[in-house]
C-alpha cells in the first residue's frame, strides 16, 4: 500500500491495491476503518480503488464499514441542489448541467449542522471530463491573506437564499414540506430569519461565522459558502446572464453580516486561494472516495456522456445557533410572516 501513489494529488491518500482493499475490508472491517479514518484525518481525502459494488445498498454497506460507527445522514433541511434518493442513506451526486462546473466548496458549510465525512462512489465514470476537484482547506486557511480572514472573522457573513420564484429550488424540495409552521420552527431553531414573498416563494437570511473548529484535529479552518455563493463562483457564461439580477433575487448570495456587500476583490482573492489548493484525479469504476468535509473541499468538472456517482454523508457536526437576522423586503403585497 502506497498512500501517496497518485502523482498529481499531494494531499490525497490513495489505496490502490485492489486485492488488499477487498480482503482487508472483508476480513478485518474494523482494522480497515481505523486505517482509512486515520488517513482521512491526516490527508483530508482517501481514494480507495477497485471496490466491488453494483447497487446503492452495496455502497451503503461499504460506507457503514468505512465510517466505523459514525451515523449516516439524510439529505434534508435547506436542500440547495437536486439529488435523487436511491434508498437508505445513498443519493446521487448533485444533478447539475453536464456542461457546467460546480465550484469547490465544503458541503453544508453555511448551515449549523454539516457532515464531517463525505463519500463518493464511482458507478460509471464519464466518457470525458467529470473529475471531482478536491481542495486542501488547510492550504487555503494557511495561504489566504490574513487581513481578509481577519475581516471575515470580525464582520461575519450574512447569507440570503430564495426558494421558489425565478431561480431557487422549490420550498417543498428544500424543506420537505410546505407547512409554514414547520418551516418557521426549523428556521427559528437555527437562527434563520424568513419571510414569505408569495404563496410559493420564500426568502431566508441568516448569519454564520467564516471559520469553524475541526472536532477531531482541533484546527480552525476556513469553512463557509461566501465564495461559493458569490457571482465569482459562476461559470463565465452564467455570470454574464446573471449580471442584471439584483443580489436579493438570486438563489444564493452572501454579504457581510451587517448587510454591506463584500468587496469583489476579496472574493477574487478567495477564489485564487481555492484554485491554488485544488487538484484532480481521474475516476475509475469501483473507486470509493472518503473526504473529510472540513479538511477537503470538492466540486465537479463539466463532462460528456453518462456519469453515475453515489453520495453518502456521515458524522454530523453541530455549532451553536446565532441570533436570527431580521429580513428587510422590498415589497409588502402578499407578505405573510413565517
| pLDDT tens per residue across span 28-68 | 999 999 999 999 999 999 999 999 899 999 999 999 999 98
What is this structure's pTM?
0.89
Looking at every residue in the chain, the average pLDDT score rounds to: 87
> What is the distance of C-alpha 215 from the center of its chain?
18
Q: How far is CA 267 from the centre of its chain?
A: 18
SS3 of residue 145 by DSSP: coil
| Sign, CA torsion 234/235/239/245 | negative
Q: What would the grid cell of residue 111 be?
A: 448551515
Q: 170-209: per-residue pLDDT in tens?
A: 999 999 999 999 999 999 999 999 989 888 899 999 999 9
Q: What is the DSSP letter of 232?
A: G
Classify 298 as helix, strand or coil.
strand
* Cβ atoms 229, 110 nearer than 8 A: yes
**Cα(79)–Cα(71) distance, integer angstroms:** 19
Residue 292 contacts residue 12 (beta carbons within 8 Å): no
- Sorted by where each starts, the structural domains of the chain and their CATH numbers stand as 12-75+82-99+107-136+282-318 (3.60.130.10), 140-272+321-337 (3.60.130.10)
Is the distance from CB of 283 to CB of 50 less than 8 angstroms? no
- Torsion angles phi and psi, residue 270, rounded to 5: -65, -45
Amino acid at each position: 500500500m502506497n498512500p501517496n501513489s497518485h502523482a498529481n494529488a499531494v494531499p490525497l491518500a490513495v489505496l490502490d491495491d485492489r486485492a488488499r482493499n477487498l480482503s482487508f475490508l472483508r476480513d478485518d472491517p474494523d482494522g480497515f476503518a481505523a486505517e482509512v479514518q486515520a488517513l482521512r484525518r491526516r490527508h483530508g481525502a482517501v481514494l480507495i480503488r477497485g471496490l466491488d459494488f453494483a447497487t446503492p445498498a452495496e455502497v451503503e454497506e461499504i460506507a457503514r464499514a468505512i465510517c466505523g460507527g459514525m451515523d449516516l445522514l439524510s439529505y434534508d433541511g435547506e436542500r440547495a441542489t437536486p439529488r435523487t434518493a436511491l434508498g437508505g442513506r445513498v443519493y446521487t451526486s448533485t444533478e447539475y448541467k453536464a456542461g457546467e462546473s460546480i465550484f469547490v466548496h465544503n458541503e453544508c458549510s453555511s448551515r449549523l449542522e454539516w457532515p464531517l465525512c463525505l463519500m463518493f462512489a464511482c458507478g460509471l465514470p464519464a466518457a470525458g471530463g467529470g473529475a471531482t476537484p478536491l481542495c486542501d482547506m488547510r492550504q487555503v486557511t494557511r495561504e489566504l491573506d490574513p487581513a481578509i480572514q481577519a475581516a471575515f472573522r470580525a464582520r461575519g457573513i450574512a447569507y440570503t437564499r430564495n426558494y421558489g420564484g425565478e431561480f431557487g429550488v422549490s420550498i417543498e424540495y428544500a424543506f420537505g414540506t410546505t407547512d409554514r409552521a414547520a418551516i418557521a420552527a426549523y428556521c427559528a431553531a437555527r437562527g434563520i430569519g424568513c419571510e414569505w414573498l408569495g404563496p410559493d416563494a420564500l426568502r431566508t437570511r441568516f448569519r454564520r461565522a467564516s471559520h469553524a473548529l475541526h472536532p477531531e484535529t482541533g484546527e480552525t479552518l476556513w469553512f463557509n459558502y461566501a465564495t461559493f455563493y458569490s457571482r465569482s463562483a459562476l461559470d463565465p457564461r452564467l455570470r454574464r446572464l446573471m449580471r442584471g439580477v439584483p443580489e436579493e433575487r438570486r438563489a444564493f448570495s452572501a454579504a457581510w453580516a451587517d448587510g454591506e456587500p463584500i468587496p469583489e476583490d476579496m472574493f477574487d482573492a478567495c477564489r485564487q486561494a481555492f484554485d491554488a489548493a485544488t487538484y484532480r484525479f481521474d475516476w475509475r469504476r469501483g473507486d470509493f472516495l472518503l473526504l473529510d468535509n472540513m479538511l477537503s473541499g470538492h466540486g465537479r468538472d463539466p463532462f460528456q456522456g453518462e456519469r453515475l456517482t453515489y453520495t453518502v454523508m456521515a458524522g454530523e457536526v453541530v455549532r451553536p445557533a446565532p441570533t436570527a437576522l431580521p429580513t428587510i423586503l422590498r415589497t409588502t403585497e402578499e407578505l405573510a410572516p413565517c
